[in-house]
Amino acid sequence: MNPRFAMRQRCAPLAAAACALALSACSPDYNWREIRQPADGYLVMLPARPASMSRPINLDGLAVTMAMTGARVDDQTFTVGAVRLPDSEPATREKAGAAMRAAMVRNIAGRETAAADVRV
């Protein structure tokens, strides 16, 4: 048997598996697009056509409207939310942030294990 032919025969399944893996990375499931919300002050990348909604919420006594934009691909959900606070006082931001954090942790029946400031 020709050694080159034998080598090709052994490598064919490996090459087919590599091609299949490479093609799966090109899956159309995630169709990323840039979403701009100038009124809410953000730009985000979402993996599918987004849906938006807004609703009034109470953040520990602060009545605000939360605007949410999100996209779903299979069982994965990607969402961004924004609120406009009644003023720009640091105490108001801290109160709203603490109330949002507590509500998110409560919604998933979780507990906060670490926190850090993020500058945007």
Q: What is the largest CA-CA distance in the chain?
A: 83
User: Quick one: 106 exposed, middle or buried, by C-beta within 10 A (0-12, 13-18, 19+)?
Assistant: exposed
Query: What is the rounded end-to-end Cα distance, in angstroms, of the chain?
Result: 65
What mean pLDDT is predicted for residues 4-18? 53
Residue bearing the bigger pLDDT, 13 or 59: 59
Answer yes or no: is pLDDT of 79 > 90.
yes
- Where do the structural domains in the chain lie, given as residue ranges? 33-107
Residue 116: its pLDDT value, please?
Answer: 87
Q: Encoding tokens for residue 95?
A: 């109160």
Residue 7: its pLDDT value, please?
Answer: 47
Supply the pTM of this predicted model: 0.64
Cα–Cα distance, 17 to 19 (Å, whole number): 5
Helix (H), strand (E) at residue 91: helix 90-107
CB-based contacts of 71, cutoff 8 Å, min separation 6: 46, 47, 48, 49, 50, 51, 77, 78, 79
**Strands 62-73 vs 76-83: parallel, antiparallel or unpaired:** antiparallel
